[in-house]
Chain A
Amino acid sequence: MNRKVLAEYNYTLKPVVKGYNRRTLYVNVGSKEIKEKPVTDMMIDKFVGGKGFDLYLMWHGVKDNTKWNDPENEICISFGPLCGNTSYPGSGKSIVTTISPLTGIPVDCNVGGHFGPYTKFAGFDALELQGKAEEDVIVYIDGDSGVVKIMTAPDERINSHILAEELIKEFADGEGKEQFVSVVSSGEAANNVLITCLNFSFWDKRRKVARLKQAGRGGTGTVFRDKGIKALVVKYSGLKVDTNNPVDLPTLQKTGLKLHKEIEAGDADQCRMHQVGTAHLMEIMNDYDLLPIRNFKYGQMPEAESLHSREFTKLFTQGMADGCWYGCSLSCCKAVDHFKPRTGPYKGQPVCVDGPEYETAAGCGSNICAWDPKDVVEINFYCDTYGVDTISFGTSVAFVMECYENGILNKERTGGLDLSWGNTDAALELLHQMAKGEGFGVIVGQGVRRMKKIFAEEFGADPQFLQDIGMEAKGLEYSQYMSKESLAQQGGYTLALKGPQHDEAWLIFMDMVNNHIPTFKDKAEALHYFPMFRTWFGLQGLCKLPWNDIEPANNAQTDEPAKVPEHVQNYVDIYKAITGKPMDKHELIRQSERVYNFQKVFCMRMGGGRRIDDIPPYRAVGPVTEEEYLSRQDRYDNLLKDKIGVDPEGKSVAEKMDITRKYREDQYQQLVDAVYERKGWTKDGVPTLEHLKSIGMDLPEVLDVVKRFL
């Protein structure tokens, strides 16, 4: 490829010390400025790394009124002090943040692949991208020789499954060295729509293909393309067990080996991550009436049997070392090899498809009634290569299918597409339209919040109905669990800072199935602890899955099985072994609390983060339609009798729904009160000055913003 170097920056290579490089890399693709920034003690003490560093850098890069497509918006990618160690499973995560085109507030994504660890070992604790390039560019970090370059990108093709592979081959030092290069890219759809993602590659030595992991949520791909970035490329060839330079390698190895052995002994009987990845959840969710079907209307259908994990197991190549970073024995990133799409530009060409994972299988499968697993694989493939987020795609398509069912949409309005439930040809056509930037697909690709406005204004649809069935909050589409019957999970989703994603809290079994957190106080405690605990993974560059998708054999006998105490101790141990800093299970939560509250204040600064932003659509809380009520009539009638004290006898369904709705919405508000109080926030959701001081997040710039709201 004939590339012109537009800017070049040489830096000194030096080893990582106790998990840190003590510098970050700033690249402005508009002004072509490339520079290093120091990592201060304050940054480490208060922000730790990973998402903390991202948010800190981004806070100082943007203004109060920065929109997603302003040049000063940033894409920050950081890795955390534990990231890149090869001893403990799940240690290769990058965390991506930007001001989201869907929400207008910071979004954060936790993603695998080799880019994060390699960029860290190339010499930087975070990468900060700003500006807008006049012509498409590639940013190249050569971690072997200490050079960063901004280069022209005349590459014709930008879809990730092709671009990633081409760039890996171009920048590798020859055949057999491809594993030392990793690429971040998006795809054609990111030029045209908002529900987009970034793909982080890792070279699969056995398959000899570039595998793709997604920083999925919030439209990161759209910001990337708006900046004129075609790809980020990193090369680093020196990986060893001690590249992260831990203070206590033996403890790190010992703790990692203990978990490897636990996985080897227990995974086949527990989650079967090694065999089928997170898709093992499909039948569990269907059995518990929690699988989203028909835009989250129902949680269970006999047809869902066809999306049982055994069907995906058959499609996934078995027996492969499918870790998205070295040393992950959970190996959950499964792949479908030699898949031949039946539609679109790659029709008939054999491709390797990453996934489907549970979210994709549910969102692009059951939620839109796509009952053929191969259709789900095809949607998965095109979403990834076009740079579309499978979660937002699934929820957005489910929304338009329900609108179609209700006559809000028709063929005239969809450009001839029949959006009946289960029409996978139409769903795929929407995807191809997103890539081409034409047709109704471009509307769907704006996401549910914008579609609600368009359908109300242009088609005269009832805004209240659209609000009730449109599964978004803060502008972000819900991920794929039914929260209707779990008040705690309604909070888990809707109170999540970036928007309704399950990565802050997944409490459905604790709450709905096992009834372990019956009171508001219990639920509030869970909605404090788990979001803080899970935030910690993003500060360190870790994956959440090895925490509780494998459990020690005696976990059920511990005092707090939901927390998996032995694994919490593992994290304490490996943190100390790498950084040499003191740590215990309380300080772990405190580290997260500082960054979590910083992110909350960041949201407020950008115009979000208010109590009104924490309101769910009613579909996430209770039955919107009569058929929904009737599908669980016994449950809802019993609730009327037992919880509300109303005899359902003789009442119409509409009357019963009305009473149920008032009760559930009131319960939700009471939950919000309890959670805000537990988190140290006012009733309006504003962190109090006292609380910020007590956790050590009382930086002047933070207090300045908070004072505007008190």
Chain B
Amino acid sequence: MKVLKTYPEKCISCHVCESTCSSLYFKEDNADLSCIQIHDQTQPTQMNVCNQCQTCVAACPTCAITVNKQGVVMISKSLCIGCLMCVAVCPTDSMRTAFGKHNPFKCIACGACVKTCPADALEIAEL
């Protein structure tokens, strides 16, 4: 299973990963639209991202959420009807939504943020 692994102890709270993610998928530098979330209001810093646990797959009423060959949980935008039931069942609060957007979104372990992280706090791992 391919997953984005986080090392919060190395994180320097620069939020570059959030910029990278939202810019890539929403063409907008906006942390609210990033699949990875850096919470640094309290210490230690928390890095929240999907661990590909698949809980959301069974909850989806339209079968829009599936697991690809690499074990990554994917959302089909054409099948998704935006009900957000997947957001409610996510045990790690990593299924993301922005009210007003049509679909939820999540980390698909693409690795873009790994490349831009200046602190080596992220890596793509095979579990």
Contacts and interface: CB of A to CB of B under 8 A. Distances in A.
Nearest to B91: A264
A326 B81 contact: yes
A329 interface: yes
Interface string A260-304: 110110000000000000000000000000000000000000000
A260 B85 CA distance: 6
A86 B63 contact: no
A181 to B, nearest CB: 14
Interface residues of B, number: 19
Contacts of B60: 321
Interface string B41-70: 000000000000000001111110000000
Interface stretch (B30-38, B95-103, B105-113, B117-125): B95-103
Given A250-B99, A253-B97, A260 B81 contact: no
A323 interface: yes
Contact of B63 (A205, A257, A261, A329): A205
Q: Tell which of B61, B82, B88 has the most Cβ of chain A within 10 Å.
A: B61
A254 interface: yes
B92 to A, nearest CB: 13
B86 to A, nearest CB: 9
Contacts of A264: 88-89
Contacts of B84: 87, 253, 256-257, 260, 327
B123 to A, nearest CB: 31
B61 A321 contact: yes
B81 A241 contact: yes
Given A206-B63, A257-B87, A326-B61, A240 B100 contact: no
Nearest to A202: B61
A257 B88 contact: yes
A260 B87 contact: yes
A650 interface: no
A703 interface: no
A172 interface: no
A260 B99 contact: no
Contacts of A250: 99-100
B90 to A, nearest CB: 9
A700 interface: no
A179 interface: yes
Contacts of B24: none
B111 to A, nearest CB: 29
Contacts of A263: 88
A329 B59 CA distance: 8
A44 B89 CA distance: 37
Contact of A253 (B59, B89, B100): B100
Interface residues of A, number: 28
Nearest to A325: B61
B99 A253 contact: yes
Mostly helix, strand, loop or mixed at chain B's interface?
loop
B83 interface: yes
B81 A321 contact: no
Given A86-B82, A240-B102, A257 B61 contact: no
A206 to B, nearest CB: 7
A328 B83 CA distance: 8
Nearest to B82: A241
Given A240-B82, A260-B88, A249 B58 contact: no
Given A249-B99, A257-B88, A260-B88, A87 B83 contact: yes
Q: Tell which of A251, A263, A326 has the most Cβ of chain B within 10 Å.
A: A326
Contacts of B82: 86-87, 240-242, 253
Contact of A329 (B58, B85, B97, B102): B85
Nearest to B77: A240
A251 B100 CA distance: 8
A319 B59 CA distance: 8
B106 to A, nearest CB: 15
Nearest to B85: A329
A179 B61 CA distance: 11
Nearest to B81: A86
Q: Tell which of B58, B60, B82 has the most Cβ of chain A within 10 Å.
A: B82
A135 B104 CA distance: 49
Nearest to A87: B83
Contacts of B102: 240-242
A320 B83 CA distance: 16
B61 A323 contact: yes
A426 interface: no
A179 B99 CA distance: 26
Contacts of B103: 241
A239 interface: yes
Interface in A223-263: 239-242, 249-251, 253-254, 256-257, 260-261, 263
A328 B89 CA distance: 13
Given A86-B81, A241-B82, A253-B97, A321 B88 contact: no
Interface of A: 86-87, 179, 205-206, 239-242, 249-251, 253-254, 256-257, 260-261, 263-264, 319-321, 323, 326-329
18 contacts: A87-B83, A179-B62, A241-B83, A241-B103, A249-B99, A253-B99, A256-B83, A257-B88, A257-B97, A260-B84, A260-B89, A320-B58, A321-B59, A321-B60, A326-B62, A327-B83, A329-B88, A329-B89
Given A249-B100, A261-B88, 12 more contacts: A205-B62, A242-B102, A253-B82, A257-B87, A257-B97, A260-B87, A263-B88, A264-B88, A319-B58, A321-B58, A321-B85, A327-B61
